[in-house]
Amino acid sequence: MISIDSSYSYNKMKYTNRCDINSNLTHFMTSGQKKLQDKEPIKSDEACAIRVLYPTKVPVIVERYNNESDLPTLNKKKFLVPQEITMSQFLTIIKKRLEIGPTKALFLLINSRTLAPLSKTLAEIYGEHRNTDGFLYITYSSQEVFG
Amino acid sequence: MSEEILQFLPFKSFVNSSFWHKLAELKIDVLKLSDTPETVHGFYSSFQAKSHLLEVDYSAFNSEFTPPKNCFPVQGTIYNKNTIEEFKNCNKVDLVNLEGQKFIEDLKNGKVLKDPWLLFRFFILSFADLKCHKYYYWFGFPCPMSPTFTKNTNTISLKECEELSEDSVLEAFNGIPEKSFFVLTKTEGHWIGKALADYNGEPDVYFCFCDPVEVGLEQPSWLLRLYAYFLMKTYPALHSKSVKFLGLRFSSTSDISSSLIWNLVLPGDSKSPEEEIKFVGWETNQNCKMGPRIASMADSMDPAKLAENSVNLNLKLMKWRLLPDLNLDVIAQQKCLLFGAGTLGCGVARNLLSWGFKNITLVDSGKVSFSNPVRQSLYKHEDALSGKQMKATTAADRLKEINPSAVTKGYVMQIPMPGHAVGDSMRETITKDLETIEELVKNHDVIFLLTDSRESRWLPTMLGAFYKKIVINAALGFDSYLVMRHGSSRKENEASGETDYGDLKCVNGQNLACYFCNDVTAPGDSMKDRTLDQQCTVTRPGVSNIASSYAVELLVALLQHPLRENAPAYFQLTEKKVKTSVPEGILGIIPHSIRGMLCNYENILPAAMKFNQCVACSEKVLAEFGQTHFEFLFKAFESSKYLEDLTGISQYEDLENDIIECSDSDF
């Protein structure tokens, strides 16, 4: 695991031409490419910086659903995730970090409204769902199981 | 010689209950909101007539009417109003005049001459209160008010008549096709029957008709009045002449000795053609007052049948105005299998009954306990008292108590679950249970997953996918609920994943996810290491009611879709308002899943694609079951790990090193 050194304080970095970064981004996207072009350009300096520094990773914010009581919260919520991994792999990683029992079921919601299709790659999801601030927002929540 | 005015016996209506049942059926299924007058038919008989009755029964609405044996047909019209107010406010004078005009029309255009049975017609003004099975009705037998007819000589019976013999009349009667009204003429010393149309004005004839009046009464029926009026209008040569009428009354097929002969003076037609003819003929009610009658069918109907009709009534009324295309038959035909007879099971079963589902089977292993009745709507405190009442069978019985025409059955059975190993001693029992469950899934059309754990939903999910059934899943959290339809495994065409639909995304029904598609964990024993509040269904009570209602409504909407479970689901990527609206079936949109929470009273309708490594519905799992059947199941029950290995979700490489975790302070 790579932890980011505090010297990478991106908000101190200056970007004069944000458009370049956005066109750069488009270049790196694989299957989400077309969608990204439709989208508004990334507005946050932070996400732009991340995309430039880690062109093969997507910035994701993972939060616990605000009404969730059973699942623990994550220590850290910002991740840079390899764009080629699938949502199922990403879910495995999150579950590992939550340190929950093997039978506990949960589900991921993108932007609090879309169910994450586990067969898709992060790049695809990012292309379709990223926020205008350049981050992909994902919440996790316990799967309903009772009858 | 007496000069007294002849009195006529008005017809009495006799309505068979089958007439009302038929009317109810027609009104609900065919006529609906239409209140246009409909043609009906009645009949009367002069064969052992008890009283001058006009009868109607279920056959009244037939397009080809055949009266019963020894009976004569009568043409009528029913004015069935939509509201009791319309029934009451209908102008009775206008209606009888309107109907009378039809009679005059038929006289003028020669229809009556050709078909003398059209002389007599009736009409019914009615209102059917289908909810209470009450029928308000009023019969009318229109007849011109004037003239009155006076008797020329005393009435005599056929026996007393010198020139006519019973045998000759019978012979004529039997020889003539149109028997309700005909003429007896003397040709070369013989009496022969003639159709009215063939009558050429010769004198000394008998105008015969079949008189539906009991033997012994001297008055003729209403028919004579119409008959005389017809002759007056049709044969001016008969005006002011004495005319003989023979009213045939049969004591048996060969005994007409009690038939009567009336001798009338036919008055001249005093009215000018322009003058308006007034009509009479409304029937009096049971109290001999002018007013409608009421028939209440509720008492005469079998209560179970009554319930069935009433249940259907509320559904069929939807078709009148709101949903003319609603297919209720498809609903009544579906066989539903409910796994779980708890809060969701009870709620779903009751909602199914409300929608007219008839076949409901429940599977549950539990007993009714004291905590159940307040939330599980099919049980009572009493059921818990004995400590022996099983939920599945009790629920099945209760459903029949609610709707006796429902076909319900309860199976007391534990659903085998992954991660719940089966010991050797239990293997035989479990095998039997599996056989039963598999057979049940095969024999039903719709599978509901309503159990209280994730792992118990696995087997029915897998079997539902394998046997290509509609699967509806409902699950509860503390204040949240999930209702979803599983993706269809019925392959109809080569379906692609997501497609664009305007501003929306569309997922084909074959590509929709199942309950297990959104996690990477095989179900296992979730009861281990759990405290009581984590094991039981601790939920806000409302969520189960909401979820069970949504589950049934989702199924009904799906059944109405031409593609059924293959119906696509739509979702939009952003929260922004988009121009494209979701295509709707007759009951609106058909979402893939409904996730709602009570804390903010919000629903979201996500649609997601199948997970190709799903532990329950992926190709690999279904193929393995297809090949090794129960052997595969026992492996899965033995250890959840088996399913994870089979689908490959346990083999994800360790990607930890590729993930970069950032603190907020990093930026």
Residues of A in contact with B666 (CB under 8 A): 4, 6, 8-10, 78
What lies within 8 Å, CB to CB, of B610 at 6+ separation is A119, B487, B511, B512, B513, B514, B517, B617, B618
> Residue B411: what pLDDT?
98
Longest Cα pair distance anywhere in chain B, in angstroms?
A: 130
* B306/chain A closest Cα distance in angstroms: 34
| Top-confidence residue, B487 or A102 | B487
Among residues B154, B161, B174, the alpha carbon closest in space to that of B70 is found at B174
CB B104: neighbour CB atoms within 10 A?
Answer: 17
Q: Please give the class, per CATH, of domain B12-144+282-296.
A: alpha beta
> Residue B60: what pLDDT?
95
> Residue A132: what pLDDT?
87
Residue-wise pLDDT for B178-203, tens only, equals 899 999 998 888 888 999 999 988 88
**Residue-averaged pLDDT of chain B:** 91
The CA-based angle B150-B153-B159, given to 5 degrees, is 125
Residues of A in contact with B662 (CB under 8 A): 4, 76, 78-80
This complex has an ipTM of: 0.76
Which among B450, B518, B604 has CB closest to A147?
B450
Residue A86 CA to residue B516 CA, distance in Å, equals: 17
* B402/chain A closest Cα distance in angstroms: 23
pLDDT in tens, chain A (147 residues): 444 443 343 443 334 334 344 443 433 443 333 344 445 677 777 888 888 888 889 999 999 998 888 899 998 889 999 999 999 999 999 998 999 887 889 999 999 889 989 999 999 999 989 998 889 999 999 999 888
B369, two tokens: 């306990």
Domain B150-277, architecture per CATH: 3-Layer(aba) Sandwich (3.40)
Measured in Å, how far apart are chain B's first and last C-alpha atoms? 127
Residue-wise pLDDT for B213-226, tens only, equals 988 888 999 999 99
**Contact between A147 and B613 using a beta-carbon 8 Å cutoff:** no
The answer to whether B611 faces chain A, any CB pair under 8 Å, is: yes
Q: Give me the residues of B, 384-423, that contact A with CB < 8 A.
A: 419
The answer to whether A103 faces chain B, any CB pair under 8 Å, is: yes
Residue A36 CA to residue A39 CA, distance in Å, equals: 5
**In chain B, whose CA is at the least distance from the CA of A86?**
B652
**Contact between B475 and A3 using a beta-carbon 8 Å cutoff:** no
- Spans of all domains in chain B: 12-144+282-296, 150-277, 309-522+533-651
Residue-wise pLDDT for B442-472, tens only, equals 999 999 999 999 999 999 999 999 999 999 9
**In chain A, whose CA is at the least distance from the CA of B640?**
A103
**Contact between B518 and A116 using a beta-carbon 8 Å cutoff:** yes
A122, two tokens: 């992060």
**In chain A, whose CA is at the least distance from the CA of B610?**
A117
Residue-wise pLDDT for B533-580, tens only, equals 766 678 999 999 999 999 999 999 999 999 999 999 998 877 777 888
Measured torsion, CA atoms of residues A33, A39, A41, A42, in degrees rounded to the nearest 10: -80
**Contact between B655 and A113 using a beta-carbon 8 Å cutoff:** no
Strand (E) positions, B274-327?
279-282, 293-296
> Residue B663: what pLDDT?
67
**Contact between A76 and B455 using a beta-carbon 8 Å cutoff:** no
Residue-wise pLDDT for B488-538, tens only, equals 988 877 666 788 888 888 999 999 999 999 999 889 887 776 777 766 678
For domain B309-522+533-651, the question of CATH label 3.30.930.10 is answered with no
Which among A1, A67, A109 has CB closest to B657?
A1
**In chain A, whose CA is at the least distance from the CA of B504?**
A128
Kind and range of the H or E run holding A51: helix A45-53
Residue-wise pLDDT for B591-617, tens only, equals 999 999 999 999 999 999 999 999 999
> Residue B273: what pLDDT?
67
Are B12-144+282-296 and B309-522+533-651 in the same CATH fold? no
Give the mean pLDDT of B33-58. Answer: 92
The answer to whether B532 faces chain A, any CB pair under 8 Å, is: no
Which structural domains are found in chain A, ordered by start? 13-142 (3.10.20.90)
> Residue B297: what pLDDT?
87
**Contact between A1 and B525 using a beta-carbon 8 Å cutoff:** no
Which among A1, A6, A70 has CB closest to B666?
A6
How many Cα atoms sit within 13 Å of B474 on the Cβ side? 30
* Catalytic residue (one of B71, B536, B614, B662): B536
> Residue A40: what pLDDT?
64
> Residue A63: what pLDDT?
94
Considering the entire predicted model, what is its pTM?
0.83
Which among B520, B606, B663 has CB closest to A114?
B606
Q: Give me the residues of A, 18-57, that contact B with CB < 8 A.
A: 46, 54, 57
The answer to whether B484 faces chain A, any CB pair under 8 Å, is: no
Q: Give me the residues of B, 625-654, that contact A with CB < 8 A.
A: 640, 649, 652
Residue B43 CA to residue B56 CA, distance in Å, equals: 7
CB B599: neighbour CB atoms within 10 A?
Answer: 11
Residue-wise pLDDT for B298-356, tens only, equals 887 777 777 777 778 889 999 999 999 999 999 999 999 999 999 999 999 999 999 99
**Contact between B521 and A120 using a beta-carbon 8 Å cutoff:** no
Q: Is B336 a catalytic residue?
A: no
Quick one: DSSP state of residue B656? Answer: G
Residue B665 CA to residue A8 CA, distance in Å, equals: 10
**8 Å CB contact between B416 and B430:** yes
Residue-wise pLDDT for B297-314, tens only, equals 888 777 777 777 777 888
The amino acid occupying position A98 is L
